[in-house]
């Protein structure tokens, strides 16, 4: 299975600030000058200079809120959450959405806090009669919640003006369903207002998607129940919004520290942990600094991946 990350920011969309942009440009210029000095060749190509840059200067972590798209080997699309990142996903799907062949899309919702639904009205495929959108969630009034978001006080066009065909399927926690190549199992996460995590499996490979979850040290042992009730996973994608200090000051806000996120991956026996749902007040540099500070002295053998917009990850 292949995963494409379209939004990895938590809480609210976060465009890059003037100050952060300046810092990145200055960093790029400094790195470029250093590279030219090292090799003694001012004719080095722009492409080679770009490739020589540190990863943090090649791209942004991104400011769009949560949206993740899984693609099966048969090219079925499974979308998780509809933060502002879903707008770019929709743009990628326009040729198929407005083509001659009907397009089926499956959208799985974790919960309906603003940062996980605010991209839906800007999802262009939803305006095509050629598209069928199949919603899956543990939320019994999901359609009503999406309709309220598009009341005329909130948005110019109502939900009903979106011409795609829509269905709503209510899921039961810990009850597996099969759609195409994938087996999907929802389970509860600790988050204000409730939130659903998902285990997504394709054959013997599986991923846990656990955005918006608050884990504390004394709760790590309880994670063994996930494996017992819904199975294990090769990859854990998890909320890592805070540093430990921030998490201690924001008990009840519903988010996890980087250190707890990595410890959760170890506890679950995952091979990789993907950190996501980053704090909007953290610049890219501060996100990376927090991650380093949180885990540099924690002895672990799990691969830690920092999610960013545009990232593609395969599990084979």
pLDDT tens digit sequence for 31-62 = 999 999 898 877 889 999 999 999 989 999 99
User: In this predicted structure, what is the pLDDT of residue 299?
Assistant: 85
Q: How much is the mean pLDDT over the chain?
A: 96
Edge-to-edge order in the sheet of strand 195-202: 177-179, 182-189, 195-202, 205-210, 235-239, 272-276, 303-306
pLDDT of the residue at 74: 87
Per the listing, tokens 């207002």 go with 193
d(CA 222, CA 263): 12
Mean pLDDT for the stretch of residues 193-206? 96
171-185 pLDDT per residue, tens: 999 999 999 999 999
The CATH code of the domain at 2-14+60-314 is: 3.60.15.10
Q: At what angle do helices 284-295 and 18-39 cross, to 10 degrees?
A: 80
Question: Where do the structural domains in the chain lie, given as residue ranges?
Answer: 2-14+60-314, 18-58
CA 5/CA 81 separation, integer angstroms: 11
**Residue 311 pLDDT greater than 90, yes or no:** yes
78-99, pLDDT tens digit by residue?
A: 999 999 999 999 999 999 999 9
Segment 116-130 shows an average pLDDT of 98
Task: Reply yes or no on whether the pLDDT at 226 is more than 90.
Answer: no
Q: Is pLDDT above 90 for 69?
A: yes
- Measured from the Cβ of residue 267, the count of other Cβ atoms closer than 10 Å reads 18
Q: Tokens 């980087």: give the residue.
A: 258
Name which of 179, 183, 185, 230 is nearest 202 in CA terms.
183
pLDDT over 90 (residue 223): no
| Dist. CA 297–CA 247, nearest whole Å | 19
Q: What pTM did the predictor assign? A: 0.95
Residue of 273, 183, 270, 194 whose CA lies nearest to 230: 183
- As a dihedral over the C-alpha atoms of residue 299, residue 53, residue 282, residue 241, rounded to 10 degrees, the angle is -40
- What SS3 class is residue 8? coil
């Amino acid at each position: 299975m292949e995963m494409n990350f379209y939004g990895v920011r938590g809480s609210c969309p976060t465009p890059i600030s003037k100050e952060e942009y300046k810092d990145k440009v200055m960093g790029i210029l400094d790195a470029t000058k250093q590279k030219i000095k090292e090799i003694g060749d001012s004719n080095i190509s722009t492409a080679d200079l770009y490739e020589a840059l540190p990863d943090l200067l090649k791209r942004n972590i991104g400011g769009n809120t949560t949206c993740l798209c899984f693609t099966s080997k048969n090219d079925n699309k499974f979308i998780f959450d509809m933060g502002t990142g879903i707008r770019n996903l929709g743009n990628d799907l326009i040729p198929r959405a407005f083509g001659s062949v009907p397009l089926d899309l499956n959208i799985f919702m974790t919960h309906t806090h603003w940062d996980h639904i605010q991209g839906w009205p800007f999802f262009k495929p939803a305006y095509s009669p050629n598209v069928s959108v199949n919603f899956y969630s543990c939320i019994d009034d999901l359609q009503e919640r999406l309709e309220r978001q598009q009341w005329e006080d909130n948005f110019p066009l109502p939900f009903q003006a979106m011409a795609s065909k829509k269905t709503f399927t209510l899921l039961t926690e810990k009850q597996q369903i099969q759609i195409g190549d994938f087996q999907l199992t929802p389970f509860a996460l600790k988050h204000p207002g409730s939130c659903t995590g998902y285990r997504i499996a394709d054959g013997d490979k599986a991923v846990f998607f656990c955005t918006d979850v608050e884990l504390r040290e004394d709760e790590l042992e309880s994670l063994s129940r996930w494996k017992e009730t819904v199975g294990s996973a090769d990859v854990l994608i998890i909320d890592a919004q805070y540093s430990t200090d921030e998490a201690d000051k924001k008990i009840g806000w519903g988010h996890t520290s980087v250190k707890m996120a990595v410890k959760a991956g170890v506890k679950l026996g995952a091979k990789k942990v993907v950190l996501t749902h980053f704090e909007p007040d953290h610049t890219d540099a501060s996100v990376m600094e927090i991650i380093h500070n949180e885990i540099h002295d924690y002895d672990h053998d799990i691969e830690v991946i920092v999610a960013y917009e545009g990232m593609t990850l395969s599990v084979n």
